[in-house]
Amino acid sequence: MAFRLLTTLRAALYRARILPSWRAPVPVIVVGNITAGGTGKTPLVIAIVDSLRRAGRKPGVVSRGYGRVPPTDADPHGVVRVLPGVATPEYFGDEPVLIARRTRVPVYLSPDRPAAARALLAAHPETDVLVSDDGLQHYALGRDIEIAVVDGERGFGNGLPLPSGPLREPVSRLRRVDAAVVNGGYSDRVPAPRQFAMTLAGERFVSFSGEDLAPEEFVPAARGRRIAAVAGIGNPGRFFAHLGRLGVGCRSPSLSRPPPVPAGRAAPAGRGTRRHDREGCRKMRGIRRCADVVPSRRSGAAAGFRRLSPRTPCRPDPPLMDPKLLEILVCPICKGPLVHRREPHELICSADRLAFPVRDDIPVMLEEEARKLAPDEEA
């Protein structure tokens, strides 16, 4: 309830012009949503930019960047351009990088969207329209058109505001947008003045080598082979369901990271392995000690575990690569298998003698990011 009161009050202060909004000298189209999580905004932003370019306009895109761009003394707003040939998702976010690569228009990031818009227009004065990715609640940036994207399958969840539910703003907020785009079809629950249906349906299979296949070509070629499908979108189930409709039978392994082990508790460990209680280490940094948990032959509630001396030094190791993920990853150069190395955290291609970095548990499979193994370094 407190969150809803604060968001309603904040929106009212902007509408009353008590809090200032910056108006760009060009039209601004804001694409956002009123719920937390993915609804399909990024594909819609790309489609809008492509449509504007076909109409002869020169669009640019601004986005928040989710705190990935640290501010500096020279640039307190942390504004940065996403260069499609250089930027990688782990530093700039997957959505801005995807937009930059797909549209090839200027994409600028900053938690302060007016600052990003000013920087974009200063560097690219030819820009005659701005598209704001996920900025519906960022009232500091004035807008000419508001488009809200709604997930037609999940709707508005339990209808409660954050943190009790998924709503960033009440459903009534949709009455003030120019249009609502429902991902998955029309919905009677959307009170927007205009409503459009959107369907996401990729119909091509593109390999790492650049091979482009239609479903009728891919399905027979994949018959009898093991196929693993991995999705990193807001609603992965929609992706897996779409594959099923195309006739692609696959498994979708869970690649979630294991939760940290609470301090003082034992956790399961594989045969012959030793796990460190990293959560305990974080809480005891002044002592820099923690307890190890190893297999044991004891019986009862503590069967399978044995606690060693808490004086054992704790050295946080890089996490093990999920074997299911490692099984489907290949070298983007030679398409050969990869070997996971924990220190440093890398994926090694023995054939090309390249080491691809793993940052924040995300493999960076780009040739320009890989390092060449030293002549005396074991592959």
* Domain assignment present for 252: no
Same domain, yes or no: 187 and 39: yes
Compute the residue count for the chain. 379
What's the pLDDT score for residue 226?
76
Same domain, yes or no: 276 and 174: no
Sign of CA dihedral 357, 363, 369, 370: positive
Please return the burial class of 61, using the count of CB atoms within 10 Å of its CB with bins 0-12, 13-18 and 19+.
Answer: buried
Same domain, yes or no: 94 and 75: yes
Same domain, yes or no: 171 and 285: no
Same domain, yes or no: 339 and 307: no
Give kind and range of the element (H or E) at residue 307.
strand 306-307
pTM (whole model) above 0.75 = no
Same domain, yes or no: 153 and 286: no
**112-126, 206-220, 258-272: segment of lowest average pLDDT:** 258-272
186-231 pLDDT, tens digit each: 888 899 999 999 988 777 888 777 788 888 888 887 777 778 888 8
CB 144 within 8 A of CB 100: no
Last residue of a domain, one of 276, 297, 317: 317
26-72 pLDDT, tens digit each: 999 999 999 987 888 999 999 999 999 999 999 999 998 764 555 55
* Pair of tokens at residue 119: 């920087």
Relative to beta strand 371-372, strand 145-151 is unpaired
Residue 247's pLDDT band, with cuts at 50, 70 and 90, is: confident
Same domain, yes or no: 329 and 306: no
CB 347 within 8 A of CB 358: yes
CB 170 within 8 A of CB 159: no
Sign of CA dihedral 370, 376, 378, 379: positive
Number of structural domains, the chain?
A: 4
CB 100 within 8 A of CB 91: no
CB 141 within 8 A of CB 135: yes
* Domain assignment present for 215: yes
* Domain assignment present for 100: yes
| Strand-pair partners of 151 | 183
Same domain, yes or no: 214 and 180: no
Q: Which residue has the higher pLDDT, 306 or 80?
A: 80
Q: Measured between alpha carbons, how far is 242 from 292 in angstroms, rounded to an integer?
A: 45
| Strand-pair partners of 62 | 108, 132
What's the pLDDT score for residue 324?
64
* Residue 166 identity: P
* Domain assignment present for 250: no
Same domain, yes or no: 329 and 307: no
Q: Measured between alpha carbons, how far is 148 from 171 in angstroms, rounded to an integer?
A: 11
* Domain assignment present for 18: yes
255 pLDDT above the threshold of 60: no
Sign of CA dihedral 173, 175, 176, 181: positive
* Pair of tokens at residue 230: 């991995």
Q: Could you tell me the residue range of the domain that residue 111 belongs to?
A: 2-198
Same domain, yes or no: 91 and 213: no
CB burial string 238-255: b at 16+ within 10 A, e below: bbbebbeebebeeebeee
Phi-psi region of 124 (alpha: psi -120 to 50; beta: other; left: phi over 0): beta
Same domain, yes or no: 32 and 67: yes
132 pLDDT above the threshold of 90: yes
Closest CA to 42 of 127, 124, 92, 100: 100
Give me the CATH number covering residue 160: 3.40.50
What's the pLDDT score for residue 3?
66
Residue 96's pLDDT band, with cuts at 50, 70 and 90, is: very high
CA distances 219 to 20, 228, 324, Å, are 55, 14, 22
CB 150 within 8 A of CB 110: no
* Domain assignment present for 119: yes
Residue found by looking up tokens 């306009």 in the block? 57
* Residue 102 identity: R
Same domain, yes or no: 88 and 108: yes
184 pLDDT above the threshold of 90: no
* Domain assignment present for 226: yes
- Those residues whose C-beta lies under 8 Å from the C-beta of residue 274, and which sit 6 or more positions away, are 292, 293, 294
Phi-psi region of 280 (alpha: psi -120 to 50; beta: other; left: phi over 0): alpha
* Domain assignment present for 113: yes
* Pair of tokens at residue 122: 């200063």
Where do runs of H (alpha helix) occur along the chain? 2-15, 41-54, 89-92, 94-103, 113-123, 215-222, 236-245, 278-283, 323-328
